[in-house]
Each structure stands twice: as structure tokens, then as C-alpha cells.
Structure 1
Amino acid sequence: MWNVVHALKPVLLMVIVQVANAWVNVLYKLALNDGMNLSVIVAYRYVFATVFITPLAFIIERKTRTKMSWSILFQSFLCGLIGGALPQNLNMEAIALTSVTFTTAISNLVPAITFMISLSFGLERLNLRTGAGKAKIIGTITGISGAMILTFIKGPEVKMLSFHVNLFNHRNGNVVHPHPSSAVMTVFGALASVASNVSYALWLIIQAKMSQRYPCPYSSTALMSLMGALLSISFAFCVERDFSQWKLGWNVRLLTVAYAGIVVSGVMVAAISWCVRTRGPLFVSVFSPLMLVVVAFAGSTILDEKLYLGSIIGSMLIICGLYVVLWGQAQRDEEE
């Protein structure tokens, strides 16, 4: 019985991670609609994450923490940049230009992107004579094709259940429409989302290397959050000089940054770090479609986002490509 529970632990953790990440995207859209600056949201996210996770890391890992070195510190900086400040700012831009459902669907390209980057750096081997090698290539092409359909083809609208809750009626009148009419904005949003996923895939690889030298998930998360906070604050002050944007009240802005910082960048990143160390980066990627299901439901029911047939077909192709790549990885692991 204990062996079953131990085997299911990383699975349950990743399910919780995906559900938590889904709802932070919904809150992002609401905060953007309330007029909050993109970079300020990201900066506050990592400030809250640092304040929350640092004491936990100090208490929980005070006796088991690996000695700090310049190499670990530099890897923490890279994690804060490539896995924190950069992808989050790009993801926020993508959400503002498109929709939470769109950006979540694109995020399922992470395994294919991770495979291509790993192949480029010699971390993966491609043998087209084996089923595993063919599966990875087919899965990658299928995922990219799905992303192209998702970006450029709409088709008829698909009606879903709606709670008729209009969360975009705010008194400030600064409304970010969830569906930009310009096709150019959609393309730029897709490019920002893909760039965010490339950065995230690089972080998974760096995190896997860092966890070998520094197997302390809470401490590594605290270091990453601190670096992400310093970088995000510096960037936010460069692009946003209006100090009123930094004011937080008892509203959706405070809820968004507190939830994103404490729950997602704090607790969930620690969970991801542990799963990457125990099961590998591709295992983490397998749960991405769950976030799409949650976001699509929330977007259609409470955010009044429209769902198109092209989006469904593109998302399904991306998900199929995801699992084909993961199947190829599983076959390669068995061969080794």
C-alpha cells in the first residue's frame, strides 16, 4: 500500500500544480482588465513568492541544505531569469493580446520544445531507425501544426455552458477585451506565448542540472524567486514610471499577485522542482493538458471567452503531439 502511495505522490502533486496554474491565468486576465500593468504583476508575484518561501526553506532545510557555491548561485540567477522574469512577462503579454485559453493551449508545446532544445545541446539522441525517434519527430511536427491551426484558423464558434457572470464590468473603464479583433495582435500574442514556452523549456533543463548539485527544492525555489523578484522589479521600474500602478488594495490586484506569488511561484514551483528531480522534466510536461481543460472551462463560463472549432482542433493536435513525444521518451528510457 505504501509503495502505491509513494508512486502516486508525484502524479497527485502535478495534478494540483496544473489546477493551481490554471486559475492564476484566470486571475491574470481579471487583473489586466482592472488596468494593472503587466510588468508590475510579475514583479509583485515574485516579491510575494520570496517573502513566503524563504522562511520555509530556512526552517525545513536548515539541516539538509547543500553548501552554497558560485556555480549554484549562477544557476539560480539563470532560473530566476529564464524560468521566472522572462517567461512570465512574455506570458502576460500573450494573455493580454489573446486569451487565457489560447495561451494555455500553446503551453502544451513545452515537451516538443524541450525535446528540440535538448537535441540541439546534445542532451537527447535522435535515432530515426527506432520507434522512439520517429515518435518524437512526428509528435513535434504534430504539435507545431496544431499551434499553427490554433493561431490562424478560427472556424465556427462552439457554444459551451455559461454561468452568465460578467467579470469584465469594472468602474475604471479600462477594459482589456479578451478577444482582440486584429489578426496581427493574435500573431504577436502567439509569438510571445511560444517565446515564453521556449524560456520555460530551457528552465526545465537548467533546473534538472541544478537539482543534481543542489537537491533542496525549497531553498532552490527561494533563490529562484529572489532572483526573479530583483530582475522583475528592475524591469518594471524601467517600463512603468507611474507609482500609482504599484498600489494594492483589497481587490482583485492583491488577490492575483498574492495567489500567484505564494501558491504558484512558491508552493507549486517547489513541487515542480521536486518532481523534476525525482521523475525528470518530461514527466512534468505530461500534465499540461489538464490545465487547458480547467482554463477552457473557466474561460467559457466566467470570462465570456469565445471558443472556436479551429481552437479545439489545434488544441487536440497539440495534445496528441505532446503524448506522442512523451511515448517516444518512455520507449527510449525502456531501451536504455
Structure 2
Amino acid sequence: MGGGAGEAAIRPVAAMVLLQFLFSVLQIFIKLAMNDGMDARVLVAYRFMFAATFLCPIAFLLERKKRPPLTMKVVLQLFLCGLFGFSINQNLYVLAIKLTSATFVTAISNLTPATTFLLAILTRLETLKLKKPAGQAKLLGTLVGMGGAMLLTFYKGPEITLLRGLPRPKLAHITENHQSHPIPRGNQIIGSFLGIISCFTYATWLVIQAKVSKVYPCHYSIAAMVCLFGAFQSTVIAVCVHRDMEHWRLGLNIRLYSSAYAGLIASGSAFPLLSWCLRKKGPLFISVFSPLMLIFVAVLSSILLDEALYLGSVLGSVLIVGGLYVVLWGKAKEATDLSQDENSGKESIPVTTNSENEVK
């Protein structure tokens, strides 16, 4: 029995480590495809085409008997999910990787919990109680994370050569002359801005997704329809920029491999696993593992892309990850306080009722 319980406890942990690794490999594929000349918008469009093709049959088979009827409000919300969470978010994210580096943008993406918190405050989905430790922690974590993003953007510092001694595969035909030179300061600032905006669009998607999931509790169907909308929107964006079919042609090369991996593995296959972990352990457990991707990407980028790692990136990443954990602690503390308040309220009700019954 103990062995079974231990195995059950380790499965979500192993699943989350695997997911972070899969998402890390995605960042490398994105950078390799763009280094090969693939346009970022075309890559995003292909990603959601592959993902929709993969998820639609699964959603139809698994949820065909329990799907509630679609209303115009749900369709509009799913359209907005595709727009903010997929089309705009991924186009900004991929462009940020193109302008900077996979490690840099992965570090910036850890601001998502902080930007989600700010957006929830602005939309009044959350209240900031500064008199309580939980509220103070969430505000402090948000400020620390934003400070880390600023440090990451404006301070470079000396290069860290710790990973330079690792063996490297021969990817010179893709990576040469792309990361051997330092990132221009202008590209770094613009890339940081795009990365931070992508965090806000992702946070917007989370808020809308939370609402639509309550009235339409079919996760595979939601994912399939959002991918369909994302594919349509991303294709329209890409076609407006590139109407020449040369930009859309895929062969047996890194462009096809990157598009297929992004759609089939990082979107289609990873979603059921992520949903299982979310159902088993909750969103806080999921968030705790997000900094792992930063470590994976830093190592893989140094080995496969020959990306240089600088002190400013390390210090900024440490602040962002530290701010993330402070925000998560505040959220956990807030949930604990709320649970205690509810339990104390429930305990007080029977006492009053019994007293009244005794008087009667």
C-alpha cells in the first residue's frame, strides 16, 4: 500500500517535470525554425493548425455525449480565448524570441502570475488586502518580479562561461551568425516589451478561460475550439503579412519539425497531461514548476544554440522567480485564511442552533 501511495504521489511531479522539459524543447525548436528563415507568424499559424487537427477528433470522441449546447456568449468567449491566449500571445512571444533569445523570453514569461494578479485587481476579480500578510506578499512579489524584468532588460553584465565547456552538436548550418554576436540593446528592449505584453495577454486568456469553463465544462472541446479559432486568426494575420507561398512551403526540414512539434506535442499532447495534473493537484502546484523551464532552456540554449548567458540575465531571472514564489505564497496563505474563516463560521452555526433548540 505504501508503495502504491508513493507512486501515486510521484506521478504528478514526474508529469510536471516532463511538461516543463517538453515546453523547453519547444523554445529551442522555435528559435531554430526562425534562424532557418521561417517567419514567426507563419510558425504560429502552423502550430495551431496542427494542434486543432490533433485535438478535434479527440474532443469529438471523448465528449460527444456530454457537451452542453453552444450559445453565442460561449462562442464569443472562445473566440476571445483564441485571440488573446493563442493568436496575439504566441505572435508576441515568438517575435520576442526572435529579437532576443529563448532563455531571455522564458525568464520574462515567469511574470505571468504577477501580471495575472494585476489584471485580476483591475477587473475586480481579486481584492488587495494590504493589512494582511497575504496581500502584502502578493504586492511585494509582483514588484520584485517587475524589478527583475527591468534588470533583465537594461543590465547585461559579464558573460557566464559555466556552460561553455559542455559538448555541442553540429547545428552550425542553422545557428551560425545568429547567436554568436551579442543581442543589440534595441532588440533587447523591444523583445522585453513584447514578452511582458504577451504575459498580459496570457493573463487575459486565463481570466476569460476561467469564466467559460464554468458554463462549458468540457476541457477537450474548449481546447479544440480555441485552437480552431487560434488557427484561423493566426492564419489571417500571417496571410496579411506574407501572401507569397514560398513562406508557407514546408519540407522535411526544421520548419516542418518545429511546426509539428509545437502543434502535436507542445499543444495537443501536453494539454491532456497538464489538465490531469491540474485536476489532481490544482493550479498552485502547476505554477511551482514553471521556473524549471528556465533552467532547462538555459542549458539547452547554451548547448544547441550556442547562446551566451550573462550576469544580468541570471540576476533578473532570480528576482523574477523569487517574486513568483512570493506571489504564490501569498495566494496559498490567502486560501488557507479563507478556509479557516469558513470552518470557524461553520463551527459557530451548530452551537447557536443547538442553543436555540434547547431554549425551545
TM normalised by structure 1 equals 0.93
Residue deviations 1:204-262 (CA, integer Å, cap 9, x gap): 12112221111111111100100000000101000112211111111111110011011
| Counterpart in the other structure of 1:322 | 324
Q: Does 1:163 align with 2:157?
A: no
Query: Letter of the aligned partner of 1:38 in structure 2?
Result: A
Could you report, residue by residue, the CA deviation over 1:104-139 in whole angstroms, capped at 9, with x for unpaired residues? 000000111111111111111211111101101110
Question: Residue 96 of structure 1 contacts residue 178 of structure 1 at CA under 8 Å; is this kept in 2?
Answer: no
Name the structure 1 match of 2:351.
none
Aligned length: 334
Q: Deviations over 1:67-118 (max 9, x none)?
A: 2222221111011111101111001110010000000000000111111111
Q: Following TM superposition, by how much is the alpha carbon of 1:49 offset from its aligned partner in structure 2, in angstroms?
A: 0.5
Following superposition, the deviation at residue 182 of structure 1 comes to 1.9
Aligned CA distance change for structure 1 residues 284 and 210 (closer, same or farther; 3 Å): farther
1: distance between equivalents of 2:191 and 2:108?
Answer: 10
Are 2:192 and 1:185 aligned?
no
In structure 2, what is the equivalent of residue 151 of structure 1? 153
Is residue 91–residue 103 contact of structure 1 (8 Å, CA) maintained in 2? yes
Counterpart of 2:231 (choices 222, 229, 232) is 229
Residue 344 of structure 2 corresponds to none
Work out the CA distance in 1 between the residues paired with 2:254 and 2:270: 21
> Within the alignment, does 1:18 sit opposite 2:20 as a pair?
yes
Deviation at 1:141, TM superposition (A): 0.8
Q: Which among 113, 116, 121 is matched to residue 114 of structure 1?
A: 116
2:336 partner letter: E
In 2 relative to 1, CA 10–219 (structure 1 residues): closer, same or farther, beyond 3 Å? farther
Q: TM-score, normalised by structure 2?
A: 0.87
**Are the aligned partners of 2:179 and 2:306 in contact in 1 as well (CA < 8 Å)?**
no
Root-mean-square deviation (CA), in Å?
Answer: 2.1
Matches of 2:181 and 2:212 in 1, distance apart? 39
Match of 2:130 among 115, 128, 151: 128
Letter of the aligned partner of 1:106 in structure 2? I
Q: 1:168 to 1:187 in 2, by over 3 A?
A: farther
- Give the match for residue 301 of structure 1: 303
Shift of residue 65 of structure 1?
A: 2.1
Shift of residue 168 of structure 1?
A: 3.9
Aligned to 2:206: 204
SS at match of 1:294: helix
- Structure 1 residues 267-276 or 181-190, which shifts more? 267-276
Amino acid at match of 1:89: N
Cα distance in 2 between the residues matched to 1:54 and 1:91: 25
**Alignment partners' CA distance in 2, 1:205 and 1:52:** 25
Aligned match of 1:55: 57
Match of 1:98 in 2: 100
